Structure 1
């Protein structure tokens, strides 16, 4: 298999493959930062609620941009890598939509005015990207030095899959123990003061509900990073693909929130669909771990190749198919429920 993408993120002193130099990483990260800075000044700085048309246009643009980038990877570096990118992008996008659902719960709990929701989402997305970047670097270092980490990632994903499918109860993070702890230790105003995070009143600095909302969303981002990074490392070991798939999955997430805000509550089987995807990737990781096995207490430290590894094209089809089935089944169910709640015709 041809390898032209970096297997690890740039770290001083480490040798990089020829086609992914430190300059490529610097340019990629610089463009990502520039994009989010532009997003803030062009769309978020002035508080307003985006229209459906605005959200639809920008969502379509970012999805198209992500697709063009994936095709570029396939053309330049081979379609094995192209398939890994698209499988990773779809998985991260699906997990991001689940993330949006929790964002909606948090913002509803804190009664964030709609004109300020863009700012909250933007900050939440940036926090998510920073946390995922840290997890990507840590995951790449672990994979490079310890092959047994595939067993750990696989087992973790199976546990997360179970939690997604059977214990995903939609509980409100804004009312959890962490946020109750924050409220006890910070003086909080009862009302919003525009989009300000703190205000000075009576000679004392107070925090606003806006800051509490951002803290809650940052906590949610940390939890979701634990899901997303092992999942995508189950589809590719290429850190560059992991990073760019995450970046493109988060691009346009703010617009997608306003576009499908009403649809989020209708995706009743999204958690179960994500559970199936995470379980599939977990099994894929465990099979891969057996193929790379070096643990002395498993088969004497020798690889086990009886079960063939799952090819990336099958992973891509399975992930896309599961998302499609979960979405269609959710819409059918909610439509039936709404129809049954309608009063009988006169």
Structure 2
């Protein structure tokens, strides 16, 4: 966290940046090639193996990073990774809703998720660069980021028992309005020729929906991880390695997501905690050095503790009440659908 490392400066060489980005691109390319060349239904065993692989890659990178750059920066990476991983599980809720809403064939879900993760990485890279620049130029951005996270936390908690309205998403409606779409999925194609006209397929609309959702999540997750560290390299790698495992995690836990009934509430508490942490840091820097700051060790303990309580409480709740169902949560009230019969 900024303030803890006033004497320490993280210096990442251009070569290290290039190798790290190259590793991420290779992993993405493998995912993309597998999705394109062998569309199939991803089973539990395959999803479990890929999930373990990506976690081991993330942990291995973190251990190398800690060994080379020190335990304090390493702790920031692991704290950032856990925050992004927990927020990415909420992404999975929305992905499941999107796949269900648009009835995406199972053999093409792999491909859609991989493209969606690429979009998320690109957008988050842009937000990271922008956020790092703003924080370097204006210390009051810590206050603004903190207030944004607290607002998001309050909204998420208020609407924790709702799901986002994917079909009425502004980006999805715009795509359907301006891009002609076929009625049926055409294999794994995003575009297809029908009667001499090039039309988008529903798969394209699904990709647009996931991209729009990723954009909204980036607006929350980037300030959240900047609450752990202000080092762009740590922010980027924590996001990248958390997102790389998202595709496999989707297939591994989509049948279990309904049981995490308290996840949205837990994430709201985590976002609020990080928001307060950012505001305390701003006050420490701009108002009075005597204002206390929250250490990375405390942050890591609080975040892991909240997640552990959320998981255990959720499992207890669903074991006692099998009818209880988790929701992704929404940042605003879902408008009632009065015109469903007109679709």
Is the TM-score greater than 0.5? Answer: yes
Q: Deviations over 1:258-277 (max 9, x none)?
A: 11011112111111111000
- Aligned equivalents of 1:142, 1:185: Cα separation in 2: 35
- Counterpart in the other structure of 1:159: 151
RMSD: 1.7
Residue 336 in 1 paired to residue 320 in 2?
Answer: yes
Secondary structure, in 3 states, of the residue corresponding to 1:173?
A: coil
Please state how far the C-alpha of 1:171 moved relative to its aligned partner. 2.3
What runs of 5+ residues in structure 2 fail to find an aligned partner?
Answer: 325-343
- Counterpart in the other structure of 1:297: none
- Aligned equivalents of 1:133, 1:185: Cα separation in 2: 28
> Where in structure 2 are the equivalents of 1:152-191 lying within 5 Å?
152-168=144-160, 169-191=162-184
Secondary structure, in 3 states, of the residue corresponding to 1:226?
A: helix
- Counterpart in the other structure of 2:41: 49
- Counterpart in the other structure of 1:240: 233
Q: How many residues align?
A: 319
Please state how far the C-alpha of 1:3 moved relative to its aligned partner. 3.0
- Aligned equivalents of 1:264, 1:229: Cα separation in 2: 24
Contact 1:105 1:172 in 2 (8 A): no
Alpha-carbon spacing, 1:75–1:248, altered in 2? closer, same or farther (3 Å): same
Contact 2:32 2:115 in 1 (8 A): no
Secondary structure, in 3 states, of the residue corresponding to 2:198?
A: strand
Contact 1:196 1:210 in 2 (8 A): yes
TM-score calculated relative to the size of structure 2: 0.89
Contact 1:45 1:119 in 2 (8 A): no
TM-score calculated relative to the size of structure 1: 0.88
What runs of 5+ residues in structure 1 fail to find an aligned partner?
Answer: 6-16, 294-302, 341-346
Please state how far the C-alpha of 1:206 moved relative to its aligned partner. 1.4
- Aligned equivalents of 2:175, 2:35: Cα separation in 1: 30
Please state how far the C-alpha of 1:72 moved relative to its aligned partner. 2.0
- Aligned equivalents of 1:75, 1:319: Cα separation in 2: 23
Given candidates 250, 269, 272, the residue that maps to 1:276 is: 269
- Aligned equivalents of 1:304, 1:64: Cα separation in 2: 42
Q: Deviations over 1:96-147 (max 9, x none)?
A: 1100110110111000000100001001111001010000100111111111
- Counterpart in the other structure of 2:60: 68
Which has the greater radius of gyration?
Answer: 1
> Where in structure 2 are the equivalents of 1:1-346 lying within 5 Å?
1=5, 3=8, 5=10, 17=11, 20-168=12-160, 169-293=162-286, 303-338=287-322
- Aligned equivalents of 1:218, 1:88: Cα separation in 2: 22
Contact 1:158 1:279 in 2 (8 A): yes
Q: Deviations over 1:150-205 (max 9, x none)?
A: 01100001011112211242123233343223222222111111111111112222
Q: Deviations over 1:2-26 (max 9, x none)?
A: 6352xxxxxxxxxxx3xx1122212
Alpha-carbon spacing, 1:150–1:175, altered in 2? closer, same or farther (3 Å): same
Alpha-carbon spacing, 1:339–1:103, altered in 2? closer, same or farther (3 Å): closer
